[in-house]
Structure formats: C-alpha cells, structure tokens
C-alpha cells in the first residue's frame, strides 16, 4: 500500500509493479496536468490518482471499440467524480476516439470546446453521461446496469452482455443519493456493476477525516455488495480485483482503491492542494522529474500512443461479430436499439382517447395517465414503469406490466423504494443506456428530492419521464408538506424540461403523446389526485396540446373581451367562469395551456391568436403566480396561491385559498374594469 499520512504530502512515488503500465498511466497524468495548467483551472488530483486503475481497466477488461463508440453492447464507463474530467478526455484521446483530438485537450474549459469543466453528455462520443454534481454518476449507473440486465434477460447474452464500470470519489459517497443508489443496486443484485472508489482521503476542505468517519466497506456490505480493498497503484492488484468482481455475478462490487491524490506531484501529492486548480509550472516540472517523463506538454511518446490506440481498437473484432449477430436479432431488438418507436404506437393514444370520450366520466388525470399507460405499454414494450413506493397512488403500473425482482430482470416494473432521487438518477441512466423508455412516479411535492437529477436530464436532453401526481393543494388532507405550490413555476424555470399539466383525460393522452414524440426532452407530468370533468369531447386525433396552449372555448356573441388561462384541475373552473361571464354578456375565451414551453415555441401569430388582442385576462392555477405575468400582461389578474397550502378536505382547501370559479369571474370583471 502507498504510505499516505493524512495531511502530509507524498513526496515520492511508489515503485511500479510494471513500468510499462506506469508509462501508460503517466500519459493520462501529464495530459491532465498540462490541460489544467493551460486552462489555469480544473482538477488534476483525481485523474492522476486513478490513472493506474484506468490503464488496467481499459487495457485488459473494457469491452468497447473506439471506432464505434455507440456500439450498443459496449461496457459503460462512468466517471462519477466528474471534476476529474481530464481523466476521461485523456482516455478518449489516447484511445483514438475520433471526437477527441489533442487540440480538444488544449481547449479544456474554453467556450465552445468539447472538453467542458465537467464531462457533458453529447459533447463527444465516449462521454456516457454528464457528471459533476456529486453522486449522480453512481446513481445513473444503477440505471445503466439495470438496463443491461433487463435487455439481457429479454434478448439473451449473445446480444446484451456488458458491464458498467464506475469511478467515484469521497464526494459521491457522502452525497445521500449514493446511498439510495447503493441500496438499490445491492437489493436488485446488479452483478454487472463494478465501482472503483478513489480512496484518497482528501476533499476540498482538507482531509476526509474532517467530515467523515465512515467504514465504507462496512456500509457497502450492509447493502449486500461484494467488496474488495486494494492499493490503487498496484496494477496486479487492480487486475485481480476486476477479475474477482466479474466472477461475482449476483452482487455489485465495490473495489476500494487506496490512492494518492495528485500522484506524481512533488509537493502537492496526497494533500488537498492537489485536488483543484492549476498546479503551476514548477510542480509540473517536479512531476516530470519524479516520473522520468521527458515529453513536452501535450505530446505523447509515439510508442505509448501506438499502444493506447491498439487498446482502443482491441474490441473491433468483438464489435463486428456482434454486428453480425445484430443482423439476425429480433426485429424488436433492432428497433429498440435504434431508438425507434413501433410504427403504430399512436394507436395506443387514440385508443385511450376513445376510451375517455366513450365513457364521458370525470377522472383524475393520474387515473387517466394510468389508463393511457395500459395502452402504451401494450404498444411500446420498452416502457419501463416504476414508482418510489407510491404505485397505487401514482397509477404508474400498467395492467400488463410485471414486476422486476432481485436478480430476475424479465419484467417491466420497478419498485424503487422511498428513494425519489435515486429513482430519478436511475431513470437518466436507463434512458442513456438505450433500449428502454423509463418513467417513474412520486408525489409532485417530492420532485424537490429529484431536482438535481431532473436538471441533468434537461441538460443532457434525454427522455427521462417523471410522473408527478397529487399536483396541488387538491391533494387535500396530507397538508402543506405534501402540497406543491411553487413546483410548477420552479420546474417551468428549468430549460428544456417539458412540464405538462393536462386539464382533462384527453389532454392527458395528448401530453403522453408529446412526451413520447420528443426523445431529446425529459418530461415532468403534473397530474391531479382529484377527478375533473371531461372537457374535450370532439372526435378525431388532433393533438391540440401539442402547441402548448390553445383556445378551448372561443368567446361568443361578439369580439373577445376576456381571456381566461388555465391548466390542469383549474381548467374546468375557467370553463365554469366563462359560462357565467358569457351569461353576463361578456364574450370570454378559455385558453388551456398544458405546456408553457411548447407554447413559447410557437410563432408570434399563433401566440397572438391564442392570447387575444384584448387586455382583460385572468390566469387561474392552484400554484404561485410566478411566470403567469407574461400572459396576463399589465391589466391581468391571477387567481391562485400566495402561500403554502393547508391540510383539509379538498373543497375546503380550495375555498380557503379563494380558488373558485366565482373568484375567476370577479377577477375577470376587475381586469375588464381596469382596461376600461
């Protein structure tokens, strides 16, 4: 083991077991140092500490082909400690990924470069997920690993048989989300998941002993993991550990790797000074001496680069053999791997609509969503359901979905437990892996617990689907801790997130159609606990929600004087208010706005046709006003929430907060009076 005394620098480097492997690792070390130094910003410590592990993993184990980075059956490599991004970028360059040139490394952390401060999904092939917010990568990995297990159970090991390898740091472990992930992975017996803990005893504030006394191995054992402890610079030990991990197929493995942060730095190694920031020319010069490295910055000696490139091409044969098998794979597998929906999937939406219209019944949108899912799952078998222990409330389990059990992955429904954050991050991993369309439910108030993962889905532009029921004070008795009030505004503030709040069963079907149409946008479905009447009774399959907002009922008996905007469970309230206003001789339109985001994508003419040229306007939504000012304008009124909610019967709660059709009528008349 490397001799690391917390708080003091490691001024020598342990002799390598294999100098050649050390040289390969030093390629990563110097590229990382050089790039951070050039950028004058970044995190050299982790790449330098984990370089030896990366060498053994990629040289001897990783199943991949740098020439075809999207090969479906590749092993996934997840850098959960994303601040160590130069480790990944260095690897991609060394291995010969076409997306990553030496120039890209030189523009590390510059605007427009592929090499962002933290790995950004979509910037370059080989970046499997966006990491940086700590704990997210390891929690994504549960999704990657689950996806492999589920696809493998259905289509066989000839087509799907790979591992998920994860690098993670102390920060990942301290974040609560990692516990949810570890616990889920252990419970479900995800044997294809192998994690390497960069046990360097250092965080930004100083030694980890400042803030933690955890027995990490004990913690993982308690979650039923296979655990190993090694010297993270001993290449033989690394190799043996990975072999042992692969041999245990009914448990995930944690390999605790004792490492020296900033391995090779002459004065900063082993201390928190190695964690972040440019090391300085002098420190790098010292590292060159210590590691006997002669090459200039950003230059990799040819023999080493050649070997790295050979490692990058090592999987070509396996990949082409798989491609042969793929040609004769089931059509469903081929379709799912290509991320294509079945040709007739929209029939499921049409069938749900017809069901709603035929019945004509009032219905909670969470129930309507459940009914849509019954049809959708039959049409789209890759839909993977789940809930954070609220299955009966979220209506997330389609009637033909079967449960996935620990070690038995031939199902389509997950019990994520009371782990909203872990679920959301797993959904991201599932979506990123491909072959599945994951959705998961909880109470909308607890979307706050998922928010960091929802944000990453939005940033990555992936179709994770968050089914959020009990979407307002309409939740009733559970009270303000469970009643979302600010969540609609807070979620609408997030770029690229589709926030849908359907106002009746038909709109619910339309919103699900929108969700599935957009593979590059995560969805946040805000669904009611309480029933609401069927408002959309027309035949046909035109998706009126698709433009985000539309005129549900135009003004009658004259030019439009008032526009009422509403969403979700308040839509029928606006319709009632309109009836009164029309009876009072005020031509009033009702605009339904299930998705603000989609409405904002429309052209000015359409927007104007919906909003109207009249200035008297009212928005009604059982949530805070923030954002509605945009539509109601200078003379408008808002009927909604101005505080947290209250525990009580739904009708009483709505009355308490003055969200009623009468209040909408009064507000409309006020607005009209102000317009004059």
| 195-224 positions binding a second copy, by CB under 8 A | 203-206, 210-219, 221-224
Tell me if 251 sits within 8 A of 244, measured CB to CB: no
Tell me if 450 sits within 8 A of 426, measured CB to CB: no
| CA separation for the pair 100, 79 (Å, rounded) | 17
Strand 465-469 and strand 437-443: the pairing is parallel
| CA separation for the pair 462, 521 (Å, rounded) | 5
| CA separation for the pair 244, 125 (Å, rounded) | 29
Residue of the chain from 22, 199, 239, 419 that contacts a second copy (CB under 8 A)? 419
Answer yes or no: is 642 a known binding residue.
no
Answer yes or no: is 233 a known binding residue.
no
Q: Looking only at residues 119 through 148 of this chain, which bind a second copy when binding is defined by CB under 8 A?
A: 120, 130-134
Answer yes or no: is 529 a known binding residue.
yes
624 binds a second copy (CB under 8 A): yes
Q: Please choose, from the candidates 315, 237, 234, the residue with its C-alpha nearest in 3D space to the C-alpha of residue 61.
A: 315
Q: Looking only at residues 431 through 460 of this chain, which bind a second copy when binding is defined by CB under 8 A?
A: 445-446, 448-449, 451-452, 455-456, 458-459
The mark string for 302-341 relative to a second copy (x by CB under 8 A, - otherwise) is: ----------------------------------------
252: which DSSP letter?
A: -
183-212 residues labelled b (16+ CB within 10 A) or e (exposed):
bbbbbbbbbbbbbbbbbbbbbeebbbeeee
170 binds a second copy (CB under 8 A): yes
# binding residues, a second copy (CB under 8 A): 110
List strands edge to edge, sheet with 76-79.
76-79, 164-168, 193-199, 253-258, 226-231
Answer yes or no: is 275 a known binding residue.
yes
41 binds a second copy (CB under 8 A): yes
Element (H, E) at 650: helix 650-656
Q: Which residues pair with 199 in a beta bridge?
A: 258
Residue of the chain from 294, 302, 344, 634 that contacts a second copy (CB under 8 A)? 634
Whats the size of the chain, residue-wise? Answer: 676
Residue of the chain from 109, 268, 366, 375 that contacts a second copy (CB under 8 A)? 109
Residue closer to a second copy, measured from CB, 459 or 589: 459
Catalytic residue among 148, 223, 420, 621: 420
Q: How far is the CB of 490 from a second copy (least distance, A)?
A: 4
Q: Looking only at residues 394 through 413 of this chain, which bind a second copy when binding is defined by CB under 8 A?
A: 406
Residue of the chain from 649, 662, 673, 674 that contacts a second copy (CB under 8 A)? 649
The string of DSSP codes covering 284-323 is: HHHHHHHTT--SPTT---HHHHHHHHHHHHTTHHHHHHHH
Residue of the chain from 282, 332, 652, 674 that contacts a second copy (CB under 8 A)? 652
Q: How far is the CB of 496 from a second copy (least distance, A)?
A: 8
Q: Please choose, from the candidates 119, 187, 116, 74, the residue with its C-alpha nearest in 3D space to the C-alpha of residue 426.
A: 187
Q: Phi and psi at residue 395, in whole multiples of 5°?
A: 55, 45
Q: How far is the CB of 114 from a second copy (least distance, A)?
A: 10
Q: Looking only at residues 547 through 606 of this chain, which bind a second copy when binding is defined by CB under 8 A?
A: none
Q: How far is the CB of 21 from a second copy (least distance, A)?
A: 31
Residue of the chain from 229, 347, 362, 389 that contacts a second copy (CB under 8 A)? 389
Answer yes or no: is 433 a known binding residue.
no
Q: Which residues pair with 459 in a beta bridge?
A: none
Stretch that binds a second copy, among 515-523, 529-537, 540-548, 652-660 (CB under 8 A): 652-660
Q: Looking only at residues 499 through 558 of this chain, which bind a second copy when binding is defined by CB under 8 A?
A: none
Answer yes or no: is 162 a known binding residue.
no
Answer yes or no: is 83 a known binding residue.
yes
476 binds a second copy (CB under 8 A): yes
CA atoms within 13 Å, Cβ hemisphere of 357: 15
Q: How far is the CB of 222 from a second copy (least distance, A)?
A: 3
Tell me if 201 sits within 8 A of 208, measured CB to CB: yes
Answer yes or no: is 482 a known binding residue.
yes
Answer yes or no: is 470 a known binding residue.
yes
Answer yes or no: is 366 a known binding residue.
yes
Stretch that binds a second copy, among 150-158, 169-177, 324-332, 543-551 (CB under 8 A): 169-177
Tell me if 413 sits within 8 A of 385, measured CB to CB: yes
Q: How far is the CB of 458 from a second copy (least distance, A)?
A: 8
Answer yes or no: is 393 a known binding residue.
yes
Residue of the chain from 98, 289, 520, 642 that contacts a second copy (CB under 8 A)? 642
392 binds a second copy (CB under 8 A): yes
Stretch that binds a second copy, among 9-17, 166-174, 236-244, 350-358 (CB under 8 A): 166-174
Q: Looking only at residues 16 through 35 of this chain, which bind a second copy when binding is defined by CB under 8 A?
A: none
568: which DSSP letter?
A: G
Q: How far is the CB of 15 from a second copy (least distance, A)?
A: 33
Tell me if 384 sits within 8 A of 412, measured CB to CB: yes
Residue closer to a second copy, measured from CB, 384 or 641: 641
Answer yes or no: is 170 a known binding residue.
yes
Q: Looking only at residues 50 through 89 of this chain, which bind a second copy when binding is defined by CB under 8 A?
A: 82-83
Tell me if 29 sits within 8 A of 229, measured CB to CB: no
Q: Looking only at residues 178 through 197 of this chain, which bind a second copy when binding is defined by CB under 8 A?
A: 178-180, 183-184, 186-187
Tell me if 167 sits within 8 A of 78, measured CB to CB: yes
| CA separation for the pair 157, 285 (Å, rounded) | 49
The interaxial angle of helices 19-39 and 85-95, nearest 10 deg, is 120
Q: What is the CA radius of gyration of the chain?
A: 28
**CA–CA distances in Å: residue 651 to residues 308, 473, 480, 502, 544:** 68, 10, 15, 20, 30
609 binds a second copy (CB under 8 A): no
Residue closer to a second copy, measured from CB, 72 or 93: 93
Q: Looking only at residues 242 through 271 of this chain, which bind a second copy when binding is defined by CB under 8 A?
A: none
Residue of the chain from 480, 531, 587, 658 that contacts a second copy (CB under 8 A)? 480
Does the active-site annotation cover 420?
yes
285 binds a second copy (CB under 8 A): no
The interaxial angle of helices 346-359 and 365-379, nearest 10 deg, is 140
Q: How far is the CB of 381 from a second copy (least distance, A)?
A: 23
Stretch that binds a second copy, among 12-20, 430-438, 490-498, 537-545 (CB under 8 A): 490-498
273-289 residues labelled b (16+ CB within 10 A) or e (exposed):
bbbbbbbeeebbebbbe
Residue closer to a second copy, measured from CB, 29 or 189: 189
| CA separation for the pair 638, 564 (Å, rounded) | 10
Q: How far is the CB of 465 from a second copy (least distance, A)?
A: 19
The string of DSSP codes covering 341-385 is: --TTTHHHHHHHHHHHHHH---EEHHHHHHHHHHHHHHH-TTEEE
Residue of the chain from 196, 197, 416, 466 that contacts a second copy (CB under 8 A)? 416
Q: Please choose, from the candidates 633, 620, 612, the residue with its C-alpha nearest in 3D space to the C-alpha of residue 667.
A: 620
| CA separation for the pair 614, 323 (Å, rounded) | 61
Binding residues for thiamine diphosphate: 83, 132-134, 171, 200, 275, 446
Binding residues for Mg(2+): 170, 200, 202
Binding residues for substrate: 43, 275, 366, 393, 470, 478, 482, 529
Catalytic residue numbers?
A: 420
């Amino acid at each position: 083991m490397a001799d690391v005394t917390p708080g003091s620098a490691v001024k020598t480097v342990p002799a390598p077991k294999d100098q050649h492997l050390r040289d390969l690792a030093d390629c990563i070390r110097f590229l990382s140092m050089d790039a951070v130094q050039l950028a004058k910003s970044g995190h050299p410590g982790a790449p330098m500490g984990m370089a030896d592990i990366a060498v053994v993993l990629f040289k001897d184990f990783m199943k991949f082909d740098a020439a075809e980075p999207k090969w479906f059956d590749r092993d996934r490599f997840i850098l959960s400690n994303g601040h160590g991004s130069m480790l990944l970028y260095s690897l991609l360059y060394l291995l010969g990924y076409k997306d990553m040139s030496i120039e890209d490394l030189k523009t590390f952390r510059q605007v427009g470069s592929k090499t962002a401060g933290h790995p950004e999904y979509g910037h370059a092939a080989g970046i499997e997920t966006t990491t940086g917010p700590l704990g997210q990568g390891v929690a994504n990995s549960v999704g990657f690993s689950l996806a492999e297990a589920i696809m493998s159970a259905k289509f066989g090991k000839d087509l799907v048989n790979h591992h998920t390898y994860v690098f993670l740091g102390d920060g990942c472990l301290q974040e609560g989300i990692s516990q949810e992930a570890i616990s889920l992975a252990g419970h479900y017996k995800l044997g294809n998941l192998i994690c390497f803990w960069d046990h360097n005893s250092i965080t930004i504030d100083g030694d980890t002993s400042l803030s933690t006394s955890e027995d990490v191995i004990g913690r993982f054992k308690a979650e039923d993991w296979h655990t190993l402890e090694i010297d993270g610079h001993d290449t033989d030990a690394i190799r043996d550990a990975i072999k042992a991990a692969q041999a245990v197929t009914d448990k995930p493995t944690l390999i605790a790797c004792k490492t020296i942060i900033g391995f090779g730095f002459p004065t900063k190694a082993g201390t928190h000074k190695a964690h972040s920031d440019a090391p300085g020319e002098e420190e790098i010069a010292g590292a060159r001496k210590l590691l006997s490295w002669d090459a200039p910055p950003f230059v990799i000696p040819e023999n080493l680069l050649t070997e790295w490139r050979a490692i990058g091409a090592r999987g070509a044969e396996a990949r082409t053999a798989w491609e042969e098998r793929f040609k004769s794979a089931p059509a469903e597998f081929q379709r799912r791997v290509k991320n294509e929906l079945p040709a007739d999937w929209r029939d499921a939406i049409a069938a749900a609509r017809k069901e709603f219209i035929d019945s004509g019944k009032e219905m909670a949108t969470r129930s309507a969503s459940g009914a849509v899912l019954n049809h959708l799952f039959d049409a789209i078998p890759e839909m993977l359901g789940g809930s954070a222990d609220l299955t009966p409330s979220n209506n997330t389990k389609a009637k033909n979905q079967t449960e996935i059990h620990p070690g038995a992955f031939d199902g389509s429904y997950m019990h994520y437990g009371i782990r909203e954050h872990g679920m959301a991050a797993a959904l991201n991993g599932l979506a990123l892996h491909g072959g599945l369309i994951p959705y998961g439910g909880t109470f909308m108030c607890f979307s706050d617990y998922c928010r960091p993962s929802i944000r990453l889905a939005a940033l990555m532009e992936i179709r994770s689907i968050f089914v959020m029921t009990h979407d307002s004070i309409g939740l009733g008795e559970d009270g303000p801790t469970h009643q979302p009030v600010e969540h609609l505004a807070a979620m609408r503030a997030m770029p690229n997130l589709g926030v849908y709040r359907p106002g009746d069963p038909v709109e619910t079907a339309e919103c699900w159609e929108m969700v599935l149409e957009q593979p590059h946008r995560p969805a946040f479905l805000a669904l009611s606990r309480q029933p609401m009447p069927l408002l959309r009774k027309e035949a046909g399959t035109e998706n009126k929600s698709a433009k985000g907002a539309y005129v549900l009922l135009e003004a009658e008996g004259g030019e439009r004087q008032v526009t009422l905007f509403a969403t979700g469970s308040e839509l029928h309230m606006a319709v009632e208010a309109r009836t009164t206003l029309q009876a009072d001789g005020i031509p009033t339109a009702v605009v339904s706005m299930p998705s603000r985001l989609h409405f904002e994508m429309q052209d000015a003419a359409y927007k104007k046709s919906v909003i109207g040229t009249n200035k008297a306007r009212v928005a009604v939504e059982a949530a805070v006003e923030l954002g509605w000012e945009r539509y109601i304008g200078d003379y408008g009124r808002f009927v909604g929430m101005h505080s947290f909610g209250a525990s009580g019967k739904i009708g009483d709660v709505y009355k308490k907060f003055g969200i009623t059709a009468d209040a909408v009528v009064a507000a409309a008349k006020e607005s009209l009076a102000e317009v004059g």
